[in-house]
Structure 1
Amino acid sequence: MDTLARLEQVIAERRSASPDSSYVAKLNAKGIEAVAQKVGEEAVETIIAALSESREEVIGESADLIFHLLVLLQSRRIKLSEVMEELDRREGTSGLEEKASRKDN
């Protein structure tokens, strides 16, 4: 089992834990808005690190972003495998072509 799959499993298990004993449960107890806001915060921190921080900071912030994205997916009952399937579907397609194919350009 790879790292992301293990992390997804741990997040799923902790989602139903007591908010007093689990960060994941505490974040989920605040609702999807709080989870989404945290993903946004981590994305901004990743961008700031990429522009002005050390390589290690970019790695750390990227790990935080991926973790919180997995929490968000779990809270919406979306499996990482579904996201991977979408990436597989897009493989070999130009990013410009894929974007043009979306309904909401």
Structure 2
Amino acid sequence: MILSRLARVLQSRHPAQGADPEGSYVAKLLLKGQDAILKKVGEESTELVMASKDGQPQRVVSEMADLWFHCLVLLTHHGLEPGDVLKELERREGVSGLAEKASRAADQG
């Protein structure tokens, strides 16, 4: 699966694994830390919204790829993998979105 392969590449580009921030965008972003990663996630989210609002389907695909990529970098920052997210989606499968949201609110509250 492409997400797993990409996650392995991102992990290998972590400065803690010896990746050079001067030669790797991902290493540089991970070295800058969570705030820089979150800024990129926000930027890519906004670009996706604008592409959709502008009715540009191919740009939606491109911006979604950018957003997913930066979300994968965020997972890497937290030591998580795409499989962790997929397991959560599987857990939610067949459960009403309203009920699932209410159960999260009850757990947090």
Structure 1 CA distance, aligned partners of 2:64 and 2:81?
20
Q: Post-superposition shift, 1:98?
A: 0.7
Structure 2 unaligned residues grouped into runs of 5+: none
Q: Post-superposition shift, 1:101?
A: 1.0
Query: Is the partner of 2:70 in helix, strand or coil?
Result: helix
TM (norm. structure 2) is: 0.90
Query: Is the partner of 2:79 in helix, strand or coil?
Result: coil
Structure 1 unaligned residues grouped into runs of 5+: none
Structure 2 CA distance, aligned partners of 1:76 and 1:45?
24
1:19 equivalent among 18, 21, 36: 21
TM (norm. structure 1) is: 0.93
Q: Post-superposition shift, 1:53?
A: 4.2
What is the one-letter code of the residue matched to 2:72? L
Corresponding residue of 1:52? 54
2:39 equivalent among 28, 37, 40: 37
Corresponding residue of 1:8? 7
What is the one-letter code of the residue matched to 2:66? D
Corresponding residue of 1:93? 95
Distance 1:25 1:102, change over 3 A: same
Structure 2 CA distance, aligned partners of 1:44 and 1:98?
26
Aligned length: 104
Structure 2 CA distance, aligned partners of 1:70 and 1:15?
12
Q: Post-superposition shift, 1:37?
A: 1.2
Over the aligned positions, Cα root-mean-square deviation in angstroms equals 1.2
